[in-house]
Amino acid sequence: MGMRGPAPKPTVLRLVHGNRPDRINRDEPVAPTLPIEPPDWISDEARAMWERYAPSLIKRGVLTYWDVEAFVVLCNALVRYKDACQLVDASSVLIGAGGRLEPNPALKVLRDAEDVFLRYAARFGMTPSDRQQIKAEVGGDATGGADLLTS
């Protein structure tokens, strides 16, 4: 049986937004202060997604050294989603197969990539519902978080 209740928010956000002191895990390990950079093996398109979103998340303390691989999954899912959208746009939602119409197989790729992206985006506080639960921005920058999902 899984955990009940809403998924926990990123650690820094939980600490900043006034959770009860008795519920904060003070023994939680702190991520190393090594540089937070994309690995060498990610694609150029995934690296572009990294460069678009990572700076704001790093600034807010949500993306840490330990989260690099999970964030790469998010970036790759967004690239797959974009590629699948382009495939569907270039063809059709339904394609002819053996004299009958069937759903375009790219729709499954699109749906799977969307699911992965949304699941990981929620973990990084990047979806509207997750941001709504955040009472204030970490760091109090002048953009008010507007730079989080814009390029």
Give the whole-angstrom CA distance, residue 112 versus residue 92.
18
Q: 63 — phi, psi (to 5°)?
A: -95, 115
| pLDDT at residue 96 in the model | 83
Tell me, yes or no, if the pTM score tops 0.85: no
pLDDT in tens, 43-80: 999 999 999 999 998 888 888 888 999 999 999 999 99
Q: What angle do CA 74, 78, 82 make, to 5 degrees?
A: 170
Q: What is the pLDDT of residues 8-34, one digit of tens each?
A: 655 554 444 455 666 666 676 666 677
DSSP 66: G
